[in-house]
């Protein structure tokens, strides 16, 4: 069955001040504009609409923080009041439609309130992951030029308190642009030093601020800017528009995730990432769900049963997290013994995204949870899934290693280096035929030319995803690696992702990565890094020999897979993505910049010691 979406009909499911008469403005490709003459407001659709429909007493937001041992919740009516007062406080500082507001906060309710308050005013928010280094924050301040910054005194990690305010102060000192005002949440764990004349305490100005109504905005008005890493080192400010985002996200909650209004949806991510924007804040609230904000980790807060406690306690119906979270849980509790302490019968499905999900992790999750485990694929730029097993439309057979077929609205193809369509099962560049559906990015902030050159110039008429993979005979898409991670071994194009599947299937391997490293004879050779499961006591040499033999058997001698190293940890971003490019630079002896998003820079020293002198 082929499912299509009537995007004009779907637009009738949201609130408009002025309903659109046109579906799509195609006059200036690739700058497509959905619902070009409509007028709406994202905050109204997230909060006011549900309250007006008599559902103000339903829970909208649950905040659960095991690192502070504190929980709180807001009904739709309570969250609406909190957001309207925050909007009033910002308006009192001069913030109005079109102004930018930078949000630099941990996973606390005020972060969600601040985002929605910006949408209420028609201000454009730019959330920067809490704890980002000062220089990276300064770059974003200069690019977005915010009138106001919302921040907090600190973030809480399992083993330490991270002072945010000194990082913010340093960033403002470095930036050429200076905000008019900073509103700071003082957390009990750390008091922040305030700058007189610029800084205001949240508790002084927000709780008693006047309630501010929603400001009607054009459909294509920017809802937010979200910065993603650029290959030049200059971050790219992805711009999401208002109406397309409302329509697409609301459609996705039922069609893809199969949740109904009132059910609890938990995206175990951070508001600083696109998952946090789409599926902690906006998607669930547009849909009338209860969303869950979690300030903790999959392990260590307090143990590998942390997720199971949250699912039981809050009756979570659908969990959305990254495969790396489940690999971490499995590493500490390989037989899921802690799961027996909790009642998980309310959970209907697990969705995984953010990185490629190896089949071994998917099978482990299926066996332990006994619910559908759905790997799905999307990007910061698209804002919602490109490929998924759409549980609310047509549940497909799960094929390990594939995020299933293209979601309705996306026309996914595989292209060769000349931009020609390739046959089924042939690896190439994954691309999407234009126009992209509603809810995807409309440009890069103040960088229209970069938007065109980075994503649309190589394959005219298509969006270049930057991912490589293939489509099988049944239309299932297999995302094998970033385009840079398809390696060329003596003229053979090979997927590092396929090799990682083999490594991950070894019973002693908890996590792995394969990178392509320079070789004078063959151009490139694969190099593997593996992290062992806790409790493994077998000799390292035996395990390395076994995984090398397994790759040779599964992929073939053509892979030339001979280099494999055991390491204690893999370097990752704070969102869980493995830093393959950085490891490749280390292995090749190339200079590299420590990524601003890295979770723990000290891991790079361990990697250098393991592979730097290979």
Strand-pair partners of 375: 352
Three state DSSP letters for 158-175? CCEEEECHHHHHHHHHHC
Which of the residue ranges 208-212, 399-403, 584-588, 610-614 would you say has the lowest mean pLDDT? 610-614
pLDDT at 613: 58
Mean pLDDT of the chain: 92
Please give the C-alpha separations between residue 212 and each of 92, 221, 429, 475, 568, in angstroms, as whole numbers: 10, 19, 47, 49, 52
What band does 230 get if pLDDT is binned at 50, 70 and 90? low
The H helix count followed by the E strand count for the chain is 19, 30
Identify whether 579 is part of a domain: yes
- C-alpha 317/C-alpha 558 separation (Å) is 45
**Residue 481 pLDDT > 90:** no
Which one is predicted more confidently, 555 or 99? 99
pLDDT at 483: 64
What band does 559 get if pLDDT is binned at 50, 70 and 90? confident
**Residue 383 pLDDT > 90:** yes
Which of the residue ranges 11-20, 160-169, 296-305, 584-593 would you say has the lowest mean pLDDT? 584-593
pLDDT at 486: 63
Identify whether 552 is part of a domain: yes
pLDDT at 2: 66
Containing 432, the helix (H) or strand (E) segment is strand 428-433
Q: What stretches of 14-75 show up as alpha helix (H) in DSSP?
A: 42-43, 49-52
pLDDT at 555: 77
What number of other Cβ atoms are within 10 A of residue 594's Cβ? 12
What band does 177 get if pLDDT is binned at 50, 70 and 90? very high
Identify whether 120 is part of a domain: no
Identify whether 593 is part of a domain: yes
Range of the domain at 601: 490-611
CATH number at residue 600: 3.30.300.30
- C-alpha 359/C-alpha 363 separation (Å) is 6
Instruction: Name every residue whose Cβ is closer than 8 Å to that of residue 557 and which is 6 or more positions away in sequence.
Output: none
pLDDT at 232: 46
Identify whether 345 is part of a domain: no
Is the bond preceding 435 in cis, omega lying within 30 degrees of 0?
yes
pLDDT at 176: 97
pLDDT at 599: 74
Q: For the segment 338-360, what is each residue's pLDDT rounded down to a tens digit?
A: 999 999 999 999 999 987 788 88
Q: Mean pLDDT across the stretch 415-428?
A: 94
Q: Mean pLDDT across the stretch 45-65?
A: 98
Q: Mean pLDDT across the stretch 167-186?
A: 97
Identify whether 588 is part of a domain: yes
Q: Mean pLDDT across the stretch 550-568?
A: 85
CB 522 within 8 A of CB 342: no
Pick from 229, 217, 227: nearest CA to 144: 227
Pick from 609, 583, 614, 613: nearest CA to 598: 583
Identify whether 525 is part of a domain: yes
pLDDT at 9: 98
Q: Mean pLDDT across the stretch 150-175?
A: 95
Percent of the chain predicted with pLDDT > 90: 76
Residue listed under structure tokens 């499912």: 3
- C-alpha 308/C-alpha 300 separation (Å) is 13
- C-alpha 597/C-alpha 228 separation (Å) is 10
Q: Mean pLDDT across the stretch 389-410?
A: 93
Residue 88, classed as helix, strand or coil, is helix
pLDDT at 231: 47
Count up the domains in the chain and report the number.
1
Identify whether 403 is part of a domain: no
What band does 89 get if pLDDT is binned at 50, 70 and 90? very high
């Amino acid at each position: 069955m082929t499912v299509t979406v009537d995007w004009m009909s779907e637009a009738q499911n949201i609130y408009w001040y002025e309903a659109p008469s046109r579906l799509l403005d195609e006059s200036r490709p690739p700058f497509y504009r959905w619902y070009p003459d409509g007028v709406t407001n994202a905050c109204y659709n997230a909060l006011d609409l549900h309250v007006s429909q008599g559902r103000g007493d339903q829970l909208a937001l649950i905040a659960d923080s095991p690192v502070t041992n504190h929980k709180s919740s807001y009904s739709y009516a309570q969250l609406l009041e909190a957001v309207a007062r925050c909007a009033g406080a910002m308006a009192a500082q001069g913030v109005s439609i079109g102004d930018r507001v930078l949000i630099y906060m941990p996973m606390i309710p005020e972060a969600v309130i601040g985002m929605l308050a910006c949408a209420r005013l028609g201000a454009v928010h730019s959330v920067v992951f809490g704890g980002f280094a000062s220089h990276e924050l300064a770059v974003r301040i200069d690019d977005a030029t915010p009138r106001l910054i919302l921040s907090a005194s600190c973030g809480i990690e399992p083993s330490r308190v991270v002072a945010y305010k000194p990082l913010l102060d340093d960033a403002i000192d470095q930036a050429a642009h200076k905000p008019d005002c900073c509103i700071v949440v003082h957390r009990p764990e750390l008091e922040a030093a305030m700058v007189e004349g610029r800084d205001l305490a949240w508790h002084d100005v927000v709780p008693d601020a006047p309630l501010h109504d929603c400001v009607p905005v054009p459909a294509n008005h920017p809802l937010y800017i979200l910065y993603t890493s650029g290959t030049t080192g200059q971050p790219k400010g992805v711009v999401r528009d208002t109406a397309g985002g409302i329509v697409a996200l609301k459609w996705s909650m039922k069609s893809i995730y199969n949740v109904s209004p009132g059910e609890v949806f938990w995206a175990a991510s951070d508001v600083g990432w696109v998952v946090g924007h789409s599926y902690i804040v906006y998607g669930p609230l547009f849909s009338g769900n209860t969303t869950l904000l979690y300030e903790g980790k999959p392990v260590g807060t307090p143990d590998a049963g942390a997720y199971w406690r949250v699912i039981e306690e809050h009756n979570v119906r659908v969990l959305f997290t990254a495969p790396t979270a489940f690999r971490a849980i499995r590493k500490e509790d390989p037989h899921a013994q802690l799961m027996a302490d909790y009642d998980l019968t309310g959970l209907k499905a697990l969705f995984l995204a953010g990185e490629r999900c190896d089949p071994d992790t998917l099978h482990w999750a299926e066996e332990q949870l006994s619910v559908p485990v759905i790997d799905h694929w999307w990007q910061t730029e698209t804002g919602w899934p490109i490929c998924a097993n759409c549980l609310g439309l047509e549940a497909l057979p799960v094929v390990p290693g594939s995020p299933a077929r293209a979601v309705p609205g996306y026309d996914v193809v595989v292209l060769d280096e000349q931009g020609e369509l390739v046959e089924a099962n042939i690896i190439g560049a994954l691309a999407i035929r234009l126009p992209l559906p509603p809810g995807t990015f409309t440009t890069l902030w103040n960088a229209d030319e970069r938007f065109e050159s980075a994503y649309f110039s190589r394959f005219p008429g298509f969006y270049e995803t930057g991912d490589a993979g293939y489509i099988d005979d049944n239309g299932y898409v297999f995302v094998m690696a970033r385009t840079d991670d398809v390696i060329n071994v003596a003229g053979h194009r090979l997927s590092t992702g396929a090799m990682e599947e083999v490594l991950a299937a070894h019973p002693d391997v908890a996590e792995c990565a394969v990178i392509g490293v320079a070789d004078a004879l063959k151009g490139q050779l694969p190099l593997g890094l593996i992290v062992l499961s806790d409790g493994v006591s077998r000799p390292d040499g035996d395990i390395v020999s076994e995984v090398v033999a397994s790759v040779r058997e599964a992929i073939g001698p053509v892979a030339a897979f001979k280099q494999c190293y055991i390491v204690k940890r893999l370097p990752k971003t704070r969102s869980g993505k493995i830093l393959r490019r950085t490891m490749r630079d280390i292995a090749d002896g190339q200079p590299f910049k420590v990524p601003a998003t890295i979770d723990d820079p000290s891991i790079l020293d361990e990697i250098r010691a393991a592979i730097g002198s290979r």
